[in-house]
Structure 1
């Protein structure tokens, strides 16, 4: 990392949400419970998708990968924030800050691209069901997941490499609970025009490209559903993609509010709240959204619980 060699700043201070002890206790308990719920919920989805035969389909394969990414996404930010709350020194080294930034951008990019892939999967399932198994082959599914990971990795590497060239010689206080690009650029005493240029032209690609795929896919899906003659058929077709629509709305709504709104409307408190939605709350809610609105997932969960209950009964 060339950017911080010889710089005056050797570490950053993550200010978090509050410096008041009473509020910190509440924040610690709240975020700890949300993080534990996130891990347990997403691990449950992963376990069901891997072990239940009925869920061995492309849709649940993508859902399993999404659950893993959600769990990693939350793990990059929340444990560090919890550790800072209970620590006297709320510091992070520059190398540690850049490492956290890399994984935040990486998992955020993978999530965006995966949501686009899942929209395409729903499009094929509803608009071309007779050729679904052929078009959504295992090889293609692996290629799409692998391509999403590689694209997000290249995107993250570019931005973190450019940030590492900056110098930090003034304030080292980050008004956030994790190392995000915007507060880092505000602290730099270097010329950040090239960084801003790359953010302006390249950063929207892994966010808006899958968003366009999602919009086009659902326009075609809505057109197909509208042509289904029976109300029951339309409801069944829509129910297969309603969970995905809710997840997309929650995740992209928070992303757009954070990074695609006028700078005049930004404030430290609102930015922290909105980023909490897509880094903490969305990964926690996604397993519930997919399981509570999905009969196959609920039935699979019941079968696993019943199987474990029978094993326990027989062993006793």
Structure 2
């Protein structure tokens, strides 16, 4: 429909109206991505730009140039892949994060606040061509894991045993590995279990956990360790026909995490930097066609 007006959702704000030519110019400049919410006259509801047939077709948007190591788009124009995105309110994010923290400090509520938090945040994640995800994890599935993780937060602060926190570090890593397996196994889409599994070795996972802790000695090396760890984690998610990848670089992880940390220290910017960082982090995960 020529001459219609377009609106774009940018964070918690609405931008527009844009004329058809202005909107096409935004697409050409890369300001409109597949995970951008848009609306125009005649549409019943807001939609992701990537879900509107023909909107981002070749000739209207610049070609996608994959990062080094990322999967290239298929030659036949298959658009079965793309970056994940998340729709969250910064205030709800802050509130749920505080409940999560308080629940772990109180220990007993830890399984319930953890399951609630994971279920909420996963339900806000959108996967291209699949829609929003869901979560079916029950707090009692692995209640002992969350109780153990909560108890470990007190180790070192309430005991005089030298180096006890370091000795229990592998146990904390193992409990984290169990959490990842539980979360991945309970992800759903369109109300149906995806039957995913995390097949990464617990010993390698513990190794990554220890390496990350040691990398803080280098001041900045942890960012590259973290990105490599995320790529390893994604490569060990099985049960999906599409490959899951983590595309951020170490440098991107470094400066964005530093900005998030500084904003958190200043307290007042916490809701905004938390929402900004979470949206960016989720967008670094993508699902693309597996290369045979």
- Establish whether TM, by shorter chain, passes 0.5: no
* TM-score, scaled to structure 2: 0.33
- Structure with greater proportional strand content: 2
More relative contact order in 1 or in 2 (CA 8 Å, sep 6+)? 1
Q: Which has the higher helix share?
A: 1
